[in-house]
Structures are given as C-alpha cells and as structure tokens.
Structure 1
Amino acid sequence: MQGWNRFKMTISFLLLAAITIIGTAAAMTLKNLVHCVLALSLGLVGLAALYLQLGAQFVGFTQILVYVGAVAILAAFAIMMTRSADPTASNAAASFRASGALIAVLVFAVLAWATISGTSAQPIFTAAPEGSVGQVGAALMHRFVLPLEVIGLLLTAALIGAGILAMDEHRGTR
C-alpha cells in the first residue's frame, strides 16, 4: 500500500511541476503581455500547489494570496491601464535568444550537478511543524491585529496616492 501512495505522490508532483514549468515558460515566450501575466499566474498557482503538497500550508496559502491574488492582478491592471493605442515596437531583446538559452542550460546543468552530487540528496525525515495555519491566523487576529491594521491602512493610502498621481498625469497629457 505504501508503494501505491508513493506512486500517487510522484504522479501528482510531476503533474504540478509540469503545470508550473509550462506556465512560467509560457510567461517568458508569449508576446501578449496580458497572456504573459495569466501564464505567470498559472505558474505561481502550480508552485503554491507544490508547497501545499509538501505540507507547507502557510507558505502555499501566502503564495496564492500575495503573488497570485495581489502581484499578478496588479500586473494585469497595470498592463491594461498603461497600454497605449500605438502599436508596440519590435522587441530588441529577441536578438539575445540564443545566448539566453545557452545561459539557461548552463545554469540548469550547474544546479542539477549540485543537486545530484550534494549530500542533501538523501531523504531527511523531519517532524511536522508545530504551528498550523489556524494558529497563525489566530495570532494575526489577536496578538498582531494592530500591526496588521496599520499595514492595511498604509497600503490603502499608497493605493489612493498612486491613483491620484495617475489621474494628474492623465489629465496633464491631454
């Protein structure tokens, strides 16, 4: 029975790894910026699912909330709000594809060699973490509620300020 569970874990890991790699590779290769952000979101969701599979609940949920829920959405809005009516110029970085691919292959080879030859390649069994996501949430809502509210107010003030600055620049260009 343990062999079947290990097989299921391997298959699920490979599936999540494929989703992550496909999403991030698509984010690097697609030409439409909105599609790039959506593909990056897919890669970040796959990474969060890998964290959850490894038992790191807090890191996985934080990945979803912060990166997918905030950064990717912010990038999508920024792209949509700043897009001009002018056709985009050709990408000057396209001429560096061969050297970029060579560097990527070399970095992958070095990381693969370090992973295979390192002493940490053997499985290490660690104890389950003592704190759960519920305990972190309870601490944020009771012990750290004031800093959490202050951070929320600062982020709201920054968002309002950015909106005001963007409106002033938009009015000045007409």
Structure 2
Amino acid sequence: MTTAKSIAGGLPLSAVTARAEIMDAVTPGTIGGTFCGNAVACAAGLKVAEIMEKEDYPGKALKISEKCFEVMGQWKEKYDIIGDVRGLGSMLGVEFVKDRETKEPNSELVSNIINYAAHHGLLLEAAGVHNNVIRFLCPLCVTDAQLEKGLEIFEEAIKACI
C-alpha cells in the first residue's frame, strides 16, 4: 500500500507499507521515491501517527461518516436532483442528476453548488467521470460545530442552485 499527502502534516512524505515477507523479498534500496527519508518529514510523520492513534482518527472517521450519511440521506429524500450518496469514512460523494430515473449527470449544477459554497466558506470538489459528483472530504480533526456548519452551507448551496 502506498500513502502520502497528510501523513506528515503538510511536509513532503510518502510511504510504502506491506507485510514483512513482501518487504523482505525486495532488494534493499529498490523501493523509494522523491518523498522518502527526509528526517524532518519523518519526525512529523511519527507525530502525526501518534496524534491519530491518541485521538482515535479511525473512530472519528466512522462518526463523521455516520453523521454525513444521515444528513445527506435526508437530502436524497428531499431533493430529486441527488442521484446517490456514497463513500467510506470521511470521504463521501453526492451525485447530482437531472433526472433520477435516467441518472443523466448534472455537472452544471455541481459547478454552481461548488461556487456558491466557496463564496460562503466551504470548499467542495467536483468528481466523477461527468463532474456531477461533489466529493465531500472532511478532515478528521473537524469539530462537531464545524461539521454542522459545513453541512449547513452545503445544503444552502443546493437550495440556492436548484
């Protein structure tokens, strides 16, 4: 498994993780990359791992997921332009369609929602082959109040743009 991005709190670091028998079978020095081995980034990565364990980030991801699926599931019932809500942990996708039966993608609506949300303090990202999915990436360090506000802005954006 390869990992990167936030494993060092913003410093450039990546990792390759595998069972011992796999790693031991590789010739030393053949697994590496641009972001491997920087001492400061490695120290930051150790601190990030310590915080993630201490603050139970896997548990937080599940809690965020449960809250978001509950709220976004209600949106799916309320707004017929939502075709699907899917994801795992704190990364969810809300699919926007022109028609629920045909599932015709609605990328223009997604663009409008993202712009509205950005102007109201929430950063969202378009995703999917047709750019008709909003990827909701919630940081694991989010407070309950921040999550509530983010979901509030997201729904305001939906209402304003439909």
Of structures 1 and 2, the one with the larger relative CO (CA 8 A, separation 6+) is 2
- Please give the TM-score of this superposition, normalised by the length of structure 1: 0.22
TM-score normalized by the length of structure 2: 0.24
Select the structure that is richer in helix: 1
- Give the strand-richer structure, 1 or 2: 2
